[in-house]
Amino acid sequence: MLRASLLGLNLPCSCRRVCRFGTRWVTVRTPSSTSSRTVAQFRPLENIQSINIEEEDLPSTGEQVPTENGRPTLYLAGSLVSSMIAKENSSNRLTTSPPISTTKTASELHSSEPEAPNLTPSTENVLEVHNTSTAPPKNRSISPSPRYAAGRPWSTENVQRVNMPKYILSPLRRIRLEVVEANRPCKQAQDADKVTLPMKKPPHLDLVSQLIWHFKVIAITDSVDEGWNSYVFLVDLIAGTPVVHRHVQHIPFAHLHRLARLLARNRPQTRRQFLRLLAVLTYLNYWGGNLKQHEWNALVAHAGSGWRKTKLEDFGNAMKVFNDMRAGRLPGSSDLLPPDREFLEGPAVEPDIYTYTSLLTVASRAMDSKNLYNISSMLSKAGLPPNRITHLSLMRYFTLKADLGGIRATLLKMRQQGLELGLDGVNACLWAYGRNARLDIVMMIYRTLRHNVLPENCAGREDINDTIGRLGEEYIFVEPELQPNEITLTTAIQVMAYHGHFTSTLNIFMDMLSFDNLEKGAPLEMNSAGAYEPTPYKPSLAVFRAVFLGFSRHARHVQYDSDWNMDNLSQIFDLFLELPPDSNLTHNTIYLIMLAFDKASGRDIKMLRDVWMRMVRRFGITFHKSHSVSRLARLKRLLFPEDEAISKG
């Protein structure tokens, strides 16, 4: 769920939660107790070490704290934290398990059961953070970007980590002392073995350890879910625990900026992710932080995306954020903030080329010609030169409009401005010409990319140089260092299979099985000599679906000169069954497979039943409704009428 406190609202505790969004919690049993507790679902974090905050490390209470817009802000204290970690390493005081507090929610930390606390000096002075040590993996993955990385998906790097701010150490120390003092009466009462009235539940002793733990998660994690769960936990703990709120009013700004960048870079851009990003940036603005240019741009891009099909109202949402940015208003303030907060404003931010590119992308996806022209006019008046992504954002619009002239004009402008097409641009051209049935251009593009991997040595008429020259007439220039990736291979197979070219489809499929996967994050396997080497591409579910779609369109029972026959379909189906059992096999894909076998076999019921049972044994076929009326459910009742009779009986 999304809490109103995440948006910076000061509401009563009874109305802090807004439905539908938030962290997931699970009930587990801890070894030290038989009672069930609720914990956040976190994966183990690496390279987090135990930190011991000593007296000399803490700033004095009279030290000046830096401010931003009249509110406390932070500065990075890398040397301080590094010295603290080095001190812990020298004394070998590293922890090998998460702190006890990771098994408690914010409410349990705020009001736990009175128990006999351990108030020894070592417990009071140590703030432990989880540290895990793992054995080196047998398989590795490619971490550096390849030399032909032009655009997605290789350009995204990990978000830079941040350090604990120095000014927050002193408030944490004061919180720790107050928590210890609040727990002393409970210990004295239990030691005296007196029967007293129920006492007010004091904060748990692990309160500060939990704060440090979740600050560290946001500071170093590369997982969006882990960062969001820690953010929700900290906001709830700070707002709902008076002893914390007196000393730490908000999450440090550097942590919030890092979480915002982590959300902005995550793919896909879903509606839920937009709401998360909006919550973090609203919280940041509420406590006096300034939204940066790239954070506004991320909001604009996310506001117009998140759905499979972009509509006009999605572009309207993006324009609302755009207008709020230019006016200096908090995004969505009129809808999310109470009336007494409507005056909340910040500095106006002028849009840059990335802002206009995001708007052009949303308008292109929505096929909104009027707004596309308006944004182009605004971009021209602003005097900002369009970049490579600005031009490529128009490719989708011209492709769906079947306007090859517009595509050529866009490619010509990129050439005149000295902008390279890049691999993502080449893939966009591959899809654009394939959608408009220009299969000759599609195969020339693929042949040129394949030549960069496996050079062609033959010379003469229609050789590779002639192909490159003909592509130049379409203003498509493929750089020699570009190589086909998984998107290239999948798109080419989809285009050729849809239009019924079996030989070309099979050749590209065989290339996919032989080309090494050099993309970032691709697995590396150890060979017999002990060295790590890349592995070939593996056909994905999308590739098999494209091939089965081709069979469902072009297969016939009686064929004399066509390759879309039963023998080839059976061999492709055998390879398909080698996919992992947990593959996301949709009902639409299952229906295409059954339709392909139906046409190729001449509606052989025995064969169709056998194909169905093989898929059931490998992947499982489930229906959410027992009496579904979908086309796949009707097909199942046709193939297995005895099952329908048993269910009715």
Instruction: Report, as an integer, the average pLDDT of 222-239.
Output: 94
State how far the Cα of 48 lies from the Cα of 311, in Å rounded to an integer.
Answer: 44
E strand map for 98-251: 126-127, 140-141
Look at residue 48 in the predicted model and tell me its pLDDT: 38
- Asked whether residue 4 carries a pLDDT value surpassing 80, the answer given is no
Share of residues in the chain with pLDDT > 70 (%): 70
The larger pLDDT score, comparing residue 115 to residue 141, is at 141
Q: Which amino acid is at 473?
A: E
Contact (Cβ atoms closer than 8 angstroms) between residue 282 and residue 330: yes
- Asked whether residue 278 carries a pLDDT value surpassing 60, the answer given is yes
| 458: confidence class by pLDDT, cuts 50, 70, 90 | confident
State how far the Cα of 99 lies from the Cα of 30, in Å rounded to an integer.
Answer: 12
**CA nearest neighbour of 109 among 203, 33, 242:** 203
Query: How does the average pLDDT of the chain come out, rounded?
Result: 77
State how far the Cα of 284 lies from the Cα of 290, in Å rounded to an integer.
Answer: 7
The larger pLDDT score, comparing residue 90 to residue 17, is at 90
Look at residue 523 in the predicted model and tell me its pLDDT: 84
| 594: confidence class by pLDDT, cuts 50, 70, 90 | very high
| 625: confidence class by pLDDT, cuts 50, 70, 90 | confident
Residue 329: what are its φ and ψ, rounded to 5°?
A: -90, 155
**Residue 340 in tokens:** 């007494």
**CA nearest neighbour of 433 among 387, 466, 482, 399:** 399
Give strand pairing partners of 38: 27
Look at residue 641 in the predicted model and tell me its pLDDT: 87
- Asked whether residue 26 carries a pLDDT value surpassing 60, the answer given is no
E strand map for 489-541: 523-526, 532-534
Give buried/exposed letters for 622-636 (b at 16+ CB in 10 A, else e): eeeeeeeeeeeeebb
Instruction: Report, as an integer, the average pLDDT of 105-114.
Output: 49
- Asked whether residue 128 carries a pLDDT value surpassing 70, the answer given is no
Look at residue 494 in the predicted model and tell me its pLDDT: 97
| 338: confidence class by pLDDT, cuts 50, 70, 90 | low
Pairing of strands 523-526, 532-534: antiparallel
The shares of helix, strand and coil residues in the chain, as percent rounded to the nearest 5, are 55, 5, 40
| 461: confidence class by pLDDT, cuts 50, 70, 90 | confident
Look at residue 354 in the predicted model and tell me its pLDDT: 95
Element (H, E) at 245: helix 242-245
Element (H, E) at 617: helix 605-618
| 552: confidence class by pLDDT, cuts 50, 70, 90 | very high
State how far the Cα of 124 lies from the Cα of 177, in Å rounded to an integer.
Answer: 8
Degrees, nearest 5: CA angle 187-188-190: 65
Look at residue 635 in the predicted model and tell me its pLDDT: 92
Look at residue 528 in the predicted model and tell me its pLDDT: 86
CB proximity list for 383: less than 8 A, separation 6 or greater: none
Give strand pairing partners of 3: 17
| 140: confidence class by pLDDT, cuts 50, 70, 90 | low
State how far the Cα of 129 lies from the Cα of 125, in Å rounded to an integer.
Answer: 13
Q: How many CB atoms lie within 10 A of CB 347?
A: 8
Look at residue 326 in the predicted model and tell me its pLDDT: 87
The larger pLDDT score, comparing residue 467 to residue 149, is at 467
pLDDT in tens, 398-421: 999 999 999 999 999 999 999 999
State how far the Cα of 570 lies from the Cα of 560, in Å rounded to an integer.
Answer: 17
Instruction: Report, as an integer, the average pLDDT of 508-513.
Output: 95
Q: 79 exposed, middle or buried (CB, 10 Å; 0-12, 13-18, 19+)? A: exposed
- DSSP for residue 31: T
- Asked whether residue 81 carries a pLDDT value surpassing 60, the answer given is no
**CA nearest neighbour of 310 among 265, 267, 273, 359:** 359
Look at residue 251 in the predicted model and tell me its pLDDT: 95
The larger pLDDT score, comparing residue 519 to residue 592, is at 592
Look at residue 1 in the predicted model and tell me its pLDDT: 44
Alpha-carbon torsion (202, 204, 209, 210), positive or negative: negative
- Asked whether residue 76 carries a pLDDT value surpassing 70, the answer given is no
pLDDT in tens, 143-161: 554 433 333 344 457 889 9
Contact (Cβ atoms closer than 8 angstroms) between residue 447 and residue 468: no
Instruction: Report, as an integer, the average pLDDT of 272-299.
Output: 92
- Asked whether residue 544 carries a pLDDT value surpassing 90, the answer given is yes
Look at residue 143 in the predicted model and tell me its pLDDT: 56
- Asked whether residue 218 carries a pLDDT value surpassing 60, the answer given is yes
| Lowest mean per-residue pLDDT among 157-161, 234-238, 497-501, 567-571 | 157-161
Look at residue 94 in the predicted model and tell me its pLDDT: 30
Look at residue 414 in the predicted model and tell me its pLDDT: 95
- DSSP for residue 137: P
| Lowest mean per-residue pLDDT among 418-422, 441-445, 475-479, 557-561 | 557-561
Instruction: Report, as an integer, the average pLDDT of 64-86.
Output: 35
First to last CA, the chain: 44
Alpha-carbon torsion (273, 277, 282, 284), positive or negative: positive
Q: How many CB atoms lie within 10 A of CB 502?
A: 19
| 335: confidence class by pLDDT, cuts 50, 70, 90 | low
Give strand pairing partners of 195: none
Q: Is the pTM of this model over 0.85?
A: no
